[in-house]
């Protein structure tokens, strides 16, 4: 019986990328993400910040897997397994870094004054981390459907649309987060609280500043968060446009776009966190001296009062006081 339909090319004989991944570029990205992940692991252990294992370290490891798969494809451009692997992993790998942004902003607002924000630090984390998890799962499911349906264009399109929905949802949540963060900093700078300051239970015996100090370290931490946000938003916009254009579109089949707007943006974001790290920028901030009123005697001289200061439960020496 004659078949009037045009023959469908065997998927195993198709170059699914539309190009052969550049081997040198893949090696560079594998090395860059390996170094960053190792540094983040050491920093998380040193500063005892366990939340970094599930965010920065996990993102670095996921990027290593994704780019290792692309490196594999540079040797076997017709193999489906590495293509599916990189498709699924590179789409979700930066999501843990987005989660780190939400956590960091919560820590910053805790220090500068919770009442300048619409939400408490806890609710910032709960709401936006939930959004990030939903986005991650959606993108992962879409990538799995698209990757496992090669040869069935309708299912590939379905997977791509699910991935696109995940990316759009992530971009929308980041946009709302950026608006809330921008409002927070404007209110802080103009000293216009959005909510009534929470009463300090120790107010009777200790100074409680409702407006935290903008220290040089805090400025660097804010710069870190803002820079990471810009890099990750650029990457999300690119992936959204890429998926709208489709798996056979020019954007997804142009390697330089992926290398710059995905790989390079994530490298910039993850190394920003390596260098401007909350361990040394926020840890010192949380350990600033607390001066108790009971340590000052109204009848004593200023010098005698300084001698009686306590810092975090230990007496301050005269050298420290002066």
In this prediction, residue 9 carries a pLDDT of 47
Nearest CA to 248 out of 9, 2, 6, 3 is that of: 9
Joined tokens for residue 153: 């264009």
Regions in the chain scoring below 50 on pLDDT? 1-11, 203-209, 286-322
Q: Say what the pTM is.
A: 0.81
Note the pLDDT of residue 271: 98
pLDDT tens track for 135-160:
999 999 999 898 888 778 888 889 99
CA distances from 216 to 43, 88, 228, 290 (A): 21, 40, 19, 19
């Amino acid at each position: 019986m004659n078949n009037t339909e045009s023959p469908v090319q065997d998927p195993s004989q198709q170059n699914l990328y539309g190009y052969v991944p550049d081997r040198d570029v893949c090696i560079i990205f594998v090395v860059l993400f390996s170094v960053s992940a190792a540094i983040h692991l050491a920093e998380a252990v040193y500063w005892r910040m366990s939340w970094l294992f599930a965010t920065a370290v996990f993102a670095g490891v996921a990027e290593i897997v994704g780019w290792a798969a692309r490196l594999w494809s540079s040797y076997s451009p017709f193999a489906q397994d590495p293509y599916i692997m990189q498709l699924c992993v590179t789409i979700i790998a930066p999501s843990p870094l987005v989660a780190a942004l939400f956590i960091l902003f919560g820590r910053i607002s805790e220090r500068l004054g919770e009442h300048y924000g619409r939400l408490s630090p806890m609710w910032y984390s709960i709401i936006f981390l939930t959004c990030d998890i939903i986005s991650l799962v959606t993108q992962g499911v879409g990538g799995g459907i698209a990757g496992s349906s090669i040869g069935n264009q309708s299912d590939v399109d379905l997977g791509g649309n699910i991935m696109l929905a995940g990316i759009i949802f992530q971009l929308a949540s980041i946009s709302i987060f950026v608006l809330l963060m921008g409002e927070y900093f404007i209110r802080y700078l103009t000293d216009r609280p959005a909510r009534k300051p929470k009463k300090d239970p120790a107010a009777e015996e200790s100074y409680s500043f409702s407006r935290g100090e903008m220290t040089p370290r805090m400025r660097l931490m804010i710069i870190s968060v803002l820079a990471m946000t810009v890099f990750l938003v650029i990457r999300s916009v690119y992936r959204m446009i890429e998926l709208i254009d489709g798996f056979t579109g020019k954007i997804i089949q142009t390697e330089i776009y992926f290398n710059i707007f995905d790989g390079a943006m994530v490298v910039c974001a993850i190394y920003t966190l390596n260098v401007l790290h909350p361990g040394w920028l926020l840890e010192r901030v949380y350990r600033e001296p607390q001066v108790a009123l009971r340590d000052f005697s109204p009848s004593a001289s200023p010098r005698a009062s300084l001698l009686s200061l306590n810092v975090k439960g230990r007496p301050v020496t005269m050298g420290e006081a002066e």
